[in-house]
Amino acid sequence: MENCIFCKIAAGIIPSSKVYEDEKILAFRDINPQAPVHVLVIPKKHIASVDKITAENSSLIAYIFENIPNVAKIAGITNGYRVISNCGPDACQTVPHLHFHILGGAPLAEKMA
Ligand code: DGP
């Protein structure tokens, strides 16, 4: 999708620090890490947010989750992690391309909001 920063990262137009890539998904390090390990996992196909998950695209979401344990392992996480997806303005979603934050590498805050 034109002017989508994560579509450009998925296409290799904008460089990223890649952790894992295959034909369907890309995992790369967040530019503004909020934990010692902070990786974003995205579908290469543009989906705007969790709010746009449907029966037609949910197999891709399942595929992302099937791969998250491996992404966390490759990223060096050994003692647990948090998976977050901000959806919409109240959740402070800043990039309107579905992404799952994987945060770990140290004990995280107990509160999520
Ligand atoms: P969210 O607020 O959930 O939409 O998170 C978007 C995240 O994307 C935020 O933590 C910073 C990250 N980010 C934004 N632009 C770039 C970029 O160009 N490269 C990388 N690696 N991360 C980015």
Which residues carry out catalysis? 99
| 30 alpha carbon – ligand 1 mean position (Å) | 6
Distance separating alpha carbons of residues 52 and 66, to the nearest angstrom: 19
Query: Block means of pLDDT (10 residues each) for the chain, length 113 residues?
Result: 95 98 98 98 98 98 98 98 98 98 97 89
With residues binned 3-state (H G I as helix, E B as strand, rest as coil), the percentages for the chain, rounded to 5, are 25, 20, 50
In a domain, 46, yes or no: yes
Beta strand segments in the chain, E: 18-21, 25-29, 37-43, 81-84, 100-104
- Structural domains counted in the chain: 1
- The predicted pLDDT at position 2 comes to 85
pLDDT value, residue 1: 82
Please report the pLDDT score of residue 113 as a whole number.
Answer: 87
Residue 27 located in a structural domain: yes
Q: pTM for this structure?
A: 0.98
- Is 33 a domain residue? yes
11: how many CB neighbours lie within 10 A of its CB?
11
What would the two tokens of residue 18 be?
């890649």
**Residue 110: inside a domain, yes or no?**
no
- Ligand 1 atom at minimum distance from 17 CA: 21
